[in-house]
Each structure stands twice: as C-alpha cells, then as structure tokens.
Amino acid sequence: MLSTSFSIYHLEFYLLIFARIAGVVSVAPIYGTRGVPRRIRVGFGLCIALVVVSAIEYTPLEYTTIFGFTILLVKELLLGLSVGFASNLCMSVINLSGMFIDREIGLTMVTAFDPTTNASTTISADFYNYMVLVIMLCTNMHYFIISAICDSFQVIPVGGAVFDGASLYTIAITFMQEYFIIAFRIALPIFISITLCNVILGVLAKTAPQMNMFSVGIELKLILGLLVMVVTVMYIPNITENVYRLTEDIVLNVLKTMY
C-alpha cells in the first residue's frame, strides 16, 4: 500500500532513489533518445521516484559526512546508468545487422543522420531500428524497463549496491558473443542470397566474358537484397522477441552482480 507521509528527513532517501531512476531514464532505449526532451525525462524520473519512495519502506542510510552521502549518490547513479546502458546496447544489435545488410547489397555509402542517436547510420539499420522500436512500444517493452528498475529496489536496497568487476567482465564477454551472433542471424538471409548471386555472376563471367558483370551485379544485388528484405519483413517480430529476451537477460544479470 502506498504511503502518503513524506518529511524532510526522507529527502536524502528520495534523492538516492531518484539518482538510480534518472540513470536509467537518461540512457535507456525509448526514454533516453534525443526525441524525448530533457525536461520530460527529468519530470518523469521525479514522478517515478516519488511513487517508489512511497511504496518501499524507509530505512536509515549508513553514512557519516557529506562525502559519504556523495559516494552513495554516485553508486546509485552508476547502478542506474549500468542498467540503462546495458539495455541500450541490446538495441545496437539492430544497427549492426543493418550495416551487414547494406554492405552486402551495396548501400554502405548511403547514410542518414539519426536524430535519436545523434550519429550517421545506414538506411537498412534505420529501417530495422524503427520497426523494432514500434513493435517494442506495442508490446510494452518500455514498461519492462521501468518495472525492472523499480523491482531492483526490492533486491538491491537503497545505498546497498556492490559492484563486482569480475562478474561484469564475464557478462560483457558473453554479451559480445551474443551481439555478433544475433546481428549475423538477422542479416543471414541477405548474406546467403547475395553470396549465391555472386556465385552465379562469377559463372556467367566465365561463360560470357563479353558481358560486363560488374555493372550488372551492382543493380542485381541491390534489387535482390531489397526483395529479400520485403519477403523477410514478416520476421521482424521474431527479431524483436530475440532482442527483448537479450535485453531481459542482460539487465537481470547486471543487477545480480550488484548485490
């Protein structure tokens, strides 16, 4: 049951909760994009922190000086940033797979400025990224991020975060393996079709050397790649499910290393 009592003595407790939530909201996917104004993110974090501080039991903090309170504040902020950054890294799998696809079909040089990441990305990466974001919004992925950070207060008490560097290193290595495997699986249909196209063009170049296979191959690979993307667009929900599962596993594993 929510508690409506709030006094000045709970202010330090509230600030630590807000620091953890603000770290997540500032870098997490959907919330941390540049399309969301900073004032909205700050106000959203303040509201969520107010709900959390009313729902959990107040416990006195163990510190002596202002320097000790600053350390607790930094620890909570780092915890939130770690969770938000881990979930944001999972979304970069889509960008990597889009780069693989554009490299195969010859659209590597065609880049566009993505205002959400403030970086230049390829066209296929933008297409898959926005499609996955829309599906995640429809499947309440943004609720999972908030529920994960709110549930973390039940597992990791306020001011009780303990960072295990060895476990975080293991999680990072495991994530890098999954990162390239999932990205390559997404681009695998394009990779197979373009490889077969290159084999056919190589055979035709030997049998009919008077034909300019280089100029023909550029248009052929582009058309074939776009056709395969249209055919495989029905599997984007499956891609979203894999990214969602990866995000869930990474976030939970990161939280387990901090208590």
pTM of the model: 0.76
> Is 3 domain-assigned?
no
Residue 7, both tokens: 């006094």
What is the pLDDT at residue 248? 79
What would the pLDDT profile of 195-205 be if each residue is shown by its tens digit?
Answer: 888 888 878 77
Domain of residue 112, residue span: 8-256
43: three-class secondary structure by DSSP: helix
> Is 221 domain-assigned?
yes
> Is 103 domain-assigned?
yes
- Measured over the CA atoms of residue 55, residue 58, residue 62 and residue 67, the dihedral's sign is positive
What is the pLDDT at residue 124? 80
> Is 29 domain-assigned?
yes
> Is 1 domain-assigned?
no
Identify the helix (H) or strand (E) that includes residue 122. Answer: strand 119-122
- Long-range residue pairs from 58-61, CB within 8 A, at least 24 positions apart, any chain: 58/10, 58/13, 59/13, 59/157, 59/158, 61/12, 61/13, 61/16, 61/158, 61/159
- Which parts of the chain have pLDDT scores under 70? 1-9, 113-119, 213-214
> Is 2 domain-assigned?
no
What would the pLDDT profile of 84-113 be if each residue is shown by its tens digit?
Answer: 888 888 778 888 888 888 888 877 777 776
What is the pLDDT at residue 8? 57
Q: Rounded to an integer, what distance in angstroms lies between the CA atom of residue 215 and that of residue 88?
A: 40
Domains identified in the chain, total number: 1
> Is 241 domain-assigned?
yes
> Is 210 domain-assigned?
yes
